């Protein structure tokens, strides 16, 4: 369900005794806001491995990466839906009192991957399949968060921008009528689109049902709000 909210802020500016060629303006701001349930999600995943040596840590992370690739193959994802956003191989240090220095005691390999799911309803199932049975302190896959979005966000933003312009124009007409002046034309129009960040939700762990089976992880998407705002100057007679 879509919701549209319109509002405006305004000022009336006209400086007495100004130079003749300076325009007499009504300055207003208009905005429009819409909300809609998300139809897609971006899942941030961290694949990691930890070992005494750097190569061993990489190998453990690569094994987890093989599991990750098997999971994504079951969700009909395209190449552009998966991207590595970061990779690091970091040594782990321990302070040695005797030598008064740090000593390397191991390495951790991390690969951050962003997965775009074009169907919001499969997010819970995707999270569950990422998690393997058993406990390991040497390697694993960690879900860092889920970002909800709209596939047609750009189209929605354009429609709201047009609504924001109309809102600014309506407000200017109200002011002009109240001030007993007439609007000649629009002098300046500037878009000031503002869209707050999409909330990030940490993934809940997979739950076990009483009969030993697994219940699908439940995630709550809420609604995404998209806002468009413009500032406009209208020249008056």
In this structure, of 17-31, 143-157, 223-237, the range with the lowest mean pLDDT score is: 17-31
- Tell whether the model's pLDDT for residue 198 goes beyond 70: no
Is the model's pTM score more than 0.85? no
Q: What are the chain's domains? A: 3-36+152-197+223-236 (3.30.110), 40-149 (3.30.70.2970)
- Tell whether the model's pLDDT for residue 73 goes beyond 90: yes
Q: Count Cβ atoms within 10 A of the Cβ of residue 23 and give its class: 0-12 exposed, 13-18 middle, 19 or more buried.
A: middle
For 140-178, b where at least 16 C-beta lie within 10 A, e where not — what string?
Answer: bbebeebbbebeebeebbebbbebbbebbbebbeebbee
Q: What is the pLDDT of residues 131-188, one digit of tens each?
A: 877 677 899 999 999 999 999 988 999 999 999 999 999 999 999 999 999 999 999 9
Phi first, then psi: give them for residue 97, nearest 5 degrees. -65, -35
As a whole-number percent, the residues of the chain with pLDDT over 90 amount to 66
User: At 9, is the pLDDT very low, low, confident or very high (cuts 50, 70, 90)?
Assistant: low
Q: 236: closest CA among 182, 189, 186, 174? A: 182
Mean pLDDT of 95-102: 89
CA distance 190 to 185: 15
Non-local CB neighbours of 172 within 8 Å, separated by 6+ positions? 10, 26, 28, 183, 232, 234
In the numeric block, the tokens 């074009």 are attached to 118
């Amino acid at each position: 369900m879509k919701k549209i909210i319109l509002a405006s802020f305004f000022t009336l500016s006209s400086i007495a005794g100004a130079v003749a060629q300076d325009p007499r303006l009504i300055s207003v701001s208009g905005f429009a806001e819409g909300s809609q349930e998300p139809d897609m999600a971006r899942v941030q995943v961290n694949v990691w491995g930890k070992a005494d040596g750097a190569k061993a840590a990489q190998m453990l992370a690569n094994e987890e990466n093989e599991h990750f690739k098997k999971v994504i193959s079951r969700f009909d994802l395209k190449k552009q839906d998966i991207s590595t956003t970061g990779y690091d191989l970091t040594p782990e240090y321990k302070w040695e009192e005797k030598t008064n220095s740090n000593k390397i005691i191991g390495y951790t390999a991390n690969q951050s991957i962003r997965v775009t799911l074009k169907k919001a309803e499969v997010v819970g199932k995707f999270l569950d399949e990422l998690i393997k049975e058993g406990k390991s302190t040497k390697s694993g896959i960690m879900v860092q968060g889920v970002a909800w979005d709209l596939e047609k966000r750009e189209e929605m933003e354009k429609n709201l921008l047009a609504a924001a312009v109309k809102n600014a124009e309506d407000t200017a007409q109200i002011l002009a009528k109240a001030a007993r002046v007439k609007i000649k034309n629009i002098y300046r129009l500037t878009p000031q689109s503002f869209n707050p960040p999409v909330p990030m939700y940490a993934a809940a762990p997979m739950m076990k049902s009483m009969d030993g089976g697994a219940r699908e992880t439940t995630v709550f998407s809420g609604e995404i709000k998209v806002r468009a705002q413009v500032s406009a100057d209208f020249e008056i007679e």
